[in-house]
Amino acid sequence: MASQFNPVKIFAGTATKELAQKIAGFYGSDLGEVTLSRFSDGEIQPGFNESVRGCDVYLIQSTSQPNDNLFELLMMIDAAKRASANTVNVVIPYFGYARQDRKDRPRVTIGAKLVANLLTAAGASRVMTMDLHAAQIQGFFDIPVDHLDASVIFVPYIKSLNLTDLTIASPDMGGSYRARTFAKFFNAEVVICDKRRKRANEIEAMSIIGDVNDLDIVLIDDICDTAGTLSKAASLIMEKGARSVRAVCTHAVLSGKAYETIENSALTELIVTDTIAPRIQSEKIKVLSTAELFANAIKSVNQHSSISALFKV
């Protein structure tokens, strides 16, 4: 039966309650009630406090700190299917394990593919997410994937800053395509920070490809984890004579000493979204909400209308 004839119910996992509340508000509905029971050994049992029979259910849960939040989401999917939901649509603002999208050395897992398999096996009908670390992860799924683009949120904010000599920068070679795509909105030049890693989250060396002298630089990335790359890139850019340097990152993982690193960095500000709820308030961190975009995307799915139309800046 077409989804427009089925009621929509939106529920939140524990990791994304505040964002889910905002999404439900923009959608025009109340957030459904979920109970999460815990056994003394840490075993969890989520359950819905209202009927979802015949409904198009939307479960909103970012999978940051994925070992807990991902499994909670999987069990919520299973609970919804067993409660006879018509469809179970999984909204994952931040898709954990997305950095493990290939075998970059022998005898390692492709974690993103495993997560895709788990979500599908649990009973998800559709996945909605934002700014995957690697866009090809969409191909890991055999169910529809709606991949939302946060540039529609960031571009108006950057324009409001009225930076006269704006240049876009990528913090590494792998993000050059993302930076070039972003630069098109401003007809701006692109510079690249070439980094070499010893291992994950540890940079060995970095150099700048391009001119940053007397320019306002905006670094573009999808994830800010320890903030080490952005901090080092910002310092190097300022050493090369830049007028100012900011960073735009969709997903503020901000683990370990990331907040302290940002505070002590050369960054004027770090602009992020609320796909992951910030743990600490900081004057250097500007948080932009994704709630209205996700709500409009949910409406588009249920009205069978174009989602790509939402990304016109």
Q: What is the pLDDT of residues 72-114, one digit of tens each?
A: 999 999 999 999 999 999 999 999 999 999 998 899 999 999 9
Verify that 208 and 274 share a domain, yes or no: yes
Verify that 270 and 252 share a domain, yes or no: yes
Verify that 196 and 273 share a domain, yes or no: yes
pLDDT of amino acid 204? 60
With CA atoms as reference, report the closest residue to 189 among 161, 160, 162, 220. Answer: 220
Range of the domain at 272: 151-288
Q: What is the pLDDT of residues 24-61, one digit of tens each?
A: 999 999 999 999 999 999 899 999 999 999 999 999 99
- Element spanning 226, H or E: none
Kindly report the CATH number assigned to the domain that includes residue 123.
3.40.50.2020
- Tell me how far apart the alpha carbons of residues 216 and 240 are, in angstroms, rounded to a whole number: 12
Verify that 196 and 140 share a domain, yes or no: no
pLDDT of amino acid 231? 93
Q: Which positions of the chain have pLDDT values less than 70?
A: 1-5, 195-204, 313
Examine the residue annotation and report whether 22 is marked as an active-site residue of this protein.
no
Reported pTM: 0.93
Number of C-beta neighbours around residue 240 at 10 A: 17
Count of domains in the chain? 2
Q: Catalytic: which of 103, 195, 198, 312?
A: 195
Verify that 27 and 133 share a domain, yes or no: yes
pLDDT of amino acid 1? 38
